[in-house]
């Protein structure tokens, strides 16, 4: 039984990795960032490239990927997202366009393929990143043999969730962000630089996606379209948990991951995935505000 | 209706129809076949505009309705294909079912594979045609009653429809013995229209689809011009106000949602006639979002604009794909154009054309979609 | 026994343990204009929400001409004959002024009975008459989203006028208006009086004196007093409650 629960926990942690960044950009900023999955993908490519070109291992790629994707997110907010605040569905569409652009940028190696230049690690093929020695193999815990890397992912995810919570609820930046969620005009009137804060928040959400990408690169192959399906899963987690509730996101990731694992074990993989979609649909139908939202007046 | 002849919007429709009808004069059968496919996509664009532009409901699972229509037709045409008739039983049997059948199972359509009996009525191609419209309408009506009855709106509708199309795709692929799973339905027969076989490369087929598109566009345009169409736009702006005027808002939303589904089902059905296959890729998330891209570029608030947007993008894409190196670059260009359109031309090319005409004729835009309902 | 146009019998709702409206009984006669007074939080808007079906009541009944309409769905209550104007004006921003009024002219509210184009000459004349009455003739083809605040309020009143429900609920129709706009609004409301039964929430006492016949004062979800303008202004209990709580709300 515990091994099944651990599989579920492992699935949950991957869902949460993607959803964390979205909880920040969508939950807190009201931006539906369809390019979030591509941020994950870029993070994974940072791991690939730093492995090939710098010989750096996965752990070193984590801060690097955070910086790269956060910078990319910052630029995106300034160039595109900023023009779309208040047009929720338009943010979804514009960022979808950006997602395609990012995918193609990797596939076409930033356009260099047209000049016959090839950068190792980019292009449309599959890439793999080796896991550091000490994370290979298994770990004995409660009499179970658990995959060390999976345990590592669960721990890092929890740490990231804690960090995100701390940033949003215990720092001056988080205070500003939460003020903007409630009322941007009022926040602005109180002297908060709404534009700058939004840009930083978006960068933070994107940076989280980048870290998720590095961790994913350790257990699956990396390709330009790896992010496309992730963003959907991520959104489902955030919406199910309740928009604007970080705790809800964590809980929803846990529940959906476990449901997926349990159904998949007792029936099959497809039933597992289908049950997750079904739960999401039912939650939105029955509790449109999400499972863990605070009820307003 | 005195202004009928001076109304530029009517002229836009007429000119568009005339171009479509004159296209076979080019004599390029290969291109006619392609354009016929894009006309089906044009219907999808119009269907999206109907719900998105006029009702403010962004359906990210339109592919579900297209797929239902496509599969209903493909099942009929599969049974009409030469290979299905040559399987040594009285009734036609799809070849993949024989490959999937248990050893020693009856080779009859009723029980060759679990669920194969579902195919029995599809031996009549008109049953396939009917189901291609009815199935999407039933699904849309039930879904609409659930979603709109619960007063769910905006992005939540998008997420439900998106989850639903992904769910349907999973089930479709999983039901391998009935649907041929990942491989989809290929090797189809021709549709028989009152004795004329619709060869996908024949001019007749092109005309059948063109006329269907003309009828769909005309009806859809008339529909939004009715009082009900105005009420629908009213619900887009303020559901509450419409409710307190005594309108059953969920009923209006559901009705137009179902109409949009019917159009999509028809588009899927006709697409199968010209493309000769149905595949689970019709239910891919990417395809459903791509339809929205077409409508957004063409103009979400204009049925004709969204339709032309879909056709235009596909024609350009086909042209670009003729050069090997451009295939991948084309996708990047679409992505870029799309971002620019959403930022600078939220009403798409259709809205842009409206504004230009308004400036030229000094008239006001009567039904522009100015702002989206905020969440 | 006389049948009142609008009656509430012990109407109430509680949110958790808080009783926002607590056993309110009103009898509004046909053609009467009743003003609801009360400090912030007295339950005026909630009472309107209960009558119009926006909030489900947990106690009591709402009667329209003696017919029970308690807790029907909003559009059913509207069809039964109760129209409403919101505190925050709500109109169809993407439609023209004319289309807004046309949508409000809803004699057949079903989808299928509305699958027609065009309307009768009489209907069109009535639309233009109402637009004229609320003074928006020059804006007939203007997109409603571009109107000024006052014009939007009048447009909404015009929509109620052509919808012509038996009972009209108005929630602070003059909020945020200039004096001139308030005067015009009073004129429009006085025109509605007689043909319709009105229930109006209003704070502006000058405006209330302009339009009111009878006033009901709510306090903490209950009816505190009922009477003519003069009676209410002289009522000691009203003064105590109203002025007392106003000091609090002034903070």
pLDDT digits (tens, 9 = 90+) for B16-47: 898 888 888 887 878 888 999 999 999 999 99
Residues C97 and C158 in one domain: yes
Give the per-residue pLDDT at A293.
Answer: 62
Q: Are residues C73 and C112 in the same domain?
A: no
> Using the beta-carbon criterion (under 8 Å), do B226 and C115 form an inter-chain contact?
yes
**Which pLDDT band, with edges at 50, 70 and 90, does B69 fall under?**
very high
User: Count of CB contacts below 8 A, B vs C?
Assistant: 110
**A115-142: per-residue pLDDT in tens?**
777 777 777 777 877 777 777 777 777 7
For an interface test with B, which of A277, A289, A290, A291 has the most B Cβ atoms less than 10 Å from its Cβ? A277
Nearest to B206 by CA among B13, B26, B32, B74: B32
CA distance to C78, C93, C105, C127, per residue, from C154 (Å): 20, 14, 16, 14
Distance from CA of C166 to the nearest CA of B (A): 13
User: Which chain A positions have a beta carbon within 8 Å of B181's beta carbon?
Assistant: none
Q: Is residue A115 part of a domain?
A: no
Contact between B60 and B242 (Cβ < 8 Å): no
Task: For C85-123, write each residue's pLDDT tens digit.
Answer: 888 878 898 899 999 998 888 777 888 888 888 788 888
- Those residues whose C-beta lies under 8 Å from the C-beta of residue A14, and which sit 6 or more positions away, are A153, A157, A216, A257
Cβ–Cβ under 8 Å, residues C77 and C53: yes
Q: Where are the domains of chain B?
A: 2-361
Cα–Cα distance between C167 and C67 in angstroms, integer?
13
Contact criterion met (CB < 8 Å) for C92 and B226: no
Neighbours of B206 (CB within 10 A): 24
- Please give the tally of structural domains in chain C: 2
Q: Give CA–CA dist C158/C226, Å, rounded.
A: 29
- Is residue A10 situated within a structural domain? yes
B374 pLDDT band, cuts 50/70/90, is very low
Distances (CA, A) of A280 to A240, B99, C215: 6, 36, 50
**And the tokens for A159?**
């740490």
Q: C4 and C75: one domain?
A: yes
What's the Cα-to-Cα distance from A160 to each of A15, A154, A250, rounded to whole Å?
13, 10, 11
Phi, psi of A108 (to 5 degrees): -95, 10
Tell me the residue range of the domain where A185 lies.
Answer: 2-110+131-286
pLDDT at C248 over 50: no
Q: What percent of chain A has pLDDT over 90?
A: 19
Q: Mean pLDDT, to the nearest integer, of A82-101?
A: 85
Look at residue C145 and tell me if it is in a domain: yes
pLDDT, residue B6, reads 60
Number of structural domains, chain A? 1
Distance CA B97, CA B176 (A): 9
pLDDT-derived band at C243 (thresholds 50, 70, 90) equals low
- pLDDT single digits (tens) A201-234: 899 999 999 999 998 888 888 888 888 888 888 8
* pLDDT at position B365: 45
Burial (Cβ within 10 Å: 0-12, 13-18, ≥19) of residue B129: buried
Same domain, C58 and C172: yes
pLDDT at residue A295, rounded to an integer: 44
**pLDDT of B349 over the 80 cut:** yes
pLDDT (tens digit per residue) in A243-284: 778 888 899 999 999 998 889 888 888 888 899 999 989 988
Q: State residue B369's pLDDT score.
A: 40
Q: Given C116, C141, C164, which residue is the final one in a domain?
A: C164
Which pLDDT does position B140 carry in this prediction? 96
- Give the pairing of strands C6-15 and C59-64: antiparallel
Are C190 and C170 spatial neighbours (Cβ–Cβ below 8 Å)? no
Record the tokens describing residue A229, joined without a space: 């399906």
* Residue C184 in domain: no
Closest partner residue to A89 among B150, B170, B372, by Cβ? B372
Mean pLDDT over each residue of chain A, to the nearest integer: 84
Angle between helices A2-22 and A148-170 (to 10 degrees): 40
Does a structural domain hold residue C183? no
Token digits of residue A122: 């980019």
pLDDT of residue B367: 42
Asked if the Cβ–Cβ distance from B234 to C141 is below 8 Å, we say no
Question: Is pLDDT of B299 > 50?
Answer: yes
Three-class SS of residue B191?
Answer: strand
Structural domain contains residue A124:
no
pLDDT confidence bin for B202, thresholds 50/70/90: confident
Same domain, C115 and C75: no
Q: To the nearest whole angstrom, how far is the Cα of B358 from the nearest Cα of chain A?
A: 25
For residue B161, give the nearest of B248, B269, B243, B264 by alpha carbon: B264
Q: Say if A121 falls within a structural domain.
A: no
**In what order do the strands lie in the sheet containing C59-64?**
C18-28, C6-15, C59-64, C67-68
Q: Does C155 share its domain with C171? A: no
Q: What number of CA atoms fall less than 13 Å from residue B40's CA on the CB side?
A: 28
Rounded Cα–Cα distance for residues A263 and B178 (Å): 23
Domain residue limits at C30:
1-81+167-176+196-251
ipTM rounded to 2 decimals? 0.85
Residues B280-293, mean pLDDT to the nearest whole number: 91
Q: Report percent pLDDT > 90 for chain C.
A: 7
Instruction: Let me know if residue C24 belongs to a domain.
Output: yes
What whole-number distance in Å separates Cα of residue B339 and Cα of residue A16?
28
Instruction: Enumerate chain C positions whose Cβ falls within 8 A of a Cβ in B.
Output: 52, 74-75, 78-79, 83-84, 86, 90-96, 99-100, 102-104, 106, 109-112, 114-119, 141-143, 145, 156, 159, 163
Asked if B252 is an interface residue toward chain C (Cβ–Cβ < 8 A), one would say yes
Averaged pLDDT score across all residues of chain B = 85
Residues C68 and C97 occupy one common structural domain: no
Q: Do B146 and A284 touch (CB under 8 A)?
A: no
pLDDT in tens, C146-188: 888 888 888 998 998 888 888 999 988 888 788 888 888 888 8
What is the torsion angle, in degrees rounded to the nearest 10, for the CA atoms of residue B20, residue B26, residue B27 and residue B32? Answer: -40
SS (H, E, C) chain C: CCCCCEEEEEEEEEECCEEEEEEEEEEECCCCEEEEECCCCCCHHHHHHHHHCCCCCCEEEEEECCEECCCCCHHHHHHHCEEEECCCCCCCCCCEHHHHHHHHCCCCCCCHHHCCCCCCHHHHHHHHHHHHHCCCHHHCCCEHHHCCHHHHHHHHHHHHHHHCCCEEEEECCCCCCCHHHHHHHHHHHHHHECCEEEEEECCCHHHHHHHCCEEEEEECCEEEEEECHHHHHHCHHHHHHHHHHHHHHCC
Residue with structure tokens 């998105």?
A: B52
Read off the CATH number of the domain in which A43 is found: 1.10.3470
Residue C181, domain member (yes or no): no
For residue C48, tell me if it sits in a domain: yes
């Amino acid at each position: 039984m515990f091994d099944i629960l651990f599989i579920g926990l492992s699935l949950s942690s991957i869902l949460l990795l993607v959803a964390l960044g979205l909880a920040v950009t969508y939950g807190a900023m009201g931006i539906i960032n369809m390019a979030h999955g591509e941020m994950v993908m870029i993070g994974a490519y940072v791991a690939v490239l730093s492995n090939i070109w710098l010989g750096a291992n996965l752990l070193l790629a984590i801060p690097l990927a955070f910086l790269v994707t956060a910078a990319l997110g910052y630029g995106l907010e300034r160039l595109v997202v900023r023009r779309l605040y208040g047009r929720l569905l338009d943010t979804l569409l514009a960022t979808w366009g950006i997602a395609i652009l990012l995918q193609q940028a990797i596939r076409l190696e930033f356009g260099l393929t047209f000049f016959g230049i090839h950068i190792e690690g980019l292009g449309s093929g599959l890439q793999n990143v080796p896991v550091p020695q000490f994370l290979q193999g298994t770990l004995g815990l409660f009499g179970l043999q658990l995959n060390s890397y999976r345990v590592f992912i669960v721990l890092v995810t929890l740490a990231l969730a804690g960090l995100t919570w701390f940033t949003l609820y215990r720092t001056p930046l988080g205070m500003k962000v939460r003020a903007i969620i409630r009322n941007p005009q009022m926040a602005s009137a109180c002297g908060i630089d709404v534009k700058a804060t939004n840009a930083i928040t978006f960068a933070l959400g994107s940076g989280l996606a980048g870290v998720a990408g590095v961790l994913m690169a350790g257990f699956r192959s990396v390709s330009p379209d790896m992010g496309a399906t992730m963003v959907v899963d991520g959104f489902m987690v955030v919406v199910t948990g309740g928009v604007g509730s970080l705790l809800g996101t964590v809980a929803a990731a846990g529940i959906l991951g476990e449901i997926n694992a349990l159904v998949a074990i007792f029936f099959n993989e497809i039933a597992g995935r289908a049950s997750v979609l079904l739960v999401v649909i039912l939650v939105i139908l029955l509790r449109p505000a999400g499972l863990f939202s605070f009820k307003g007046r | 209706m005195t202004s009928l002849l001076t109304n530029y919007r009517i002229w836009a429709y007429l000119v568009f129809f005339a171009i479509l009808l004159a296209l076979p004069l080019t004599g390029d059968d290969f291109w006619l076949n392609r354009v016929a496919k894009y006309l089906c996509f044009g219907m999808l664009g119009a269907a999206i505009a109907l719900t998105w532009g006029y009702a403010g409901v962004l359906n990210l699972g339109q592919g579900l309705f297209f797929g239902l229509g496509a599969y209903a037709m493909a099942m009929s045409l599969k049974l009409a294909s030469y290979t299905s008739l040559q399987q040594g039983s009285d009734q036609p049997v799809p070849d993949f079912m024989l490959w999937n059948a248990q050893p020693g199972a009856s080779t009859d359509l009723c029980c060759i594979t679990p669920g194969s009996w579902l195919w029995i009525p599809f031996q009549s191609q008109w049953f396939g045609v009917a189901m291609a419209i009815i199935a999407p309408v039933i699904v849309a009506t039930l879904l609409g009653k659930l979603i709109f009855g619960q007063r769910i709106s905006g992005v939540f509708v998008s997420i439900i429809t998106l989850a639903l199309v992904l769910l349907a795709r999973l089930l479709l692929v999983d039901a391998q013995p009935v649907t041929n799973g990942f491989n989809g339905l290929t090797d189809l027969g021709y549709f028989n229209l009152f004795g004329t076989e619709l060869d996908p490369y024949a001019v007749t087929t092109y005309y059948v689809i063109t006329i269907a598109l003309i009828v769909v566009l005309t009806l859809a345009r008339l529909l939004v011009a009715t009082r009900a169409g105005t009420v629908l736009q009213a619900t887009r702006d303020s559901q509450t106000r419409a409710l307190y005027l005594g309108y059953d808002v969920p009923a209006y939303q559901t009705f137009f949602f179902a109409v949009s589904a019917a159009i999509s089902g028809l588009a899927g059905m006709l697409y199968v006639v010209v493309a000769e296959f149905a595949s689970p890729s019709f239910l891919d998330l990417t395809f459903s979002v791509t339809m929205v891209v077409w409508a957004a570029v063409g103009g979400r608030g204009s049925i004709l604009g969204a339709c032309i947007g879909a056709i235009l993008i596909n024609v350009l894409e086909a042209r670009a794909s003729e050069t090997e190196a451009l295939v991948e670059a084309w996708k990047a260009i679409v992505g870029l154009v799309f971002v620019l359109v959403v930022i600078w031309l939220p009403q798409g090319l259709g809205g842009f054309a409206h504004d230009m005409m308004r400036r030229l004729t000094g008239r006001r835009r009567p039904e522009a979609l100015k702002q989206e309902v905020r969440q | 026994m006389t049948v009142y146009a609008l009656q509430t019998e012990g109407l109430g709702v509680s949110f958790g343990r808080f009783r926002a409206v607590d056993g309110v009984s009103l009898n509004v006669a046909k053609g009467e204009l009743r003003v609801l007074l009360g400090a912030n939080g007295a339950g005026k808007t909630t009472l309107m929400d209960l009558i119009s079906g926006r909030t489900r009541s947990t106690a009591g009944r709402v009667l329209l001409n003696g017919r029970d309409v308690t807790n029907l769905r909003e559009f059913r209550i509207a069809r039964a004959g109760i129209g409403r104007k919101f505190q925050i004006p709500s109109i169809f921003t993407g439609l023209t002024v004319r289309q807004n009024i046309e949508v409000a002219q809803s004699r057949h509210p079903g989808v299928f009975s509305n699958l027609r184009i065009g309307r009768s000459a009489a209907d069109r004349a009535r639309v233009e008459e109402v637009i004229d009455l609320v003074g928006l003739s020059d804006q007939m083809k203007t997109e409603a989203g571009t109107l000024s605040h006052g014009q939007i309020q009048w447009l909404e009143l015009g929509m109620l006028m052509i919808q012509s429900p038996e009972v009209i609920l108005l929630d602070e129709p003059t909020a945020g208006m200039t004096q001139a706009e308030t005067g015009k609004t009073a004129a429009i409301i006085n025109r509605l009086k007689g043909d319709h039964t009105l229930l109006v929430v209003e704070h502006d006492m000058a405006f209330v004196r302009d339009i009111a016949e009878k006033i009901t004062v709510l306090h903490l979800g209950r009816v505190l007093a009922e009477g003519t303008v003069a009676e209410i202004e002289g009522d000691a209990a009203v003064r105590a409650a109203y002025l007392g709580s106003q000091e609090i709300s002034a903070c």
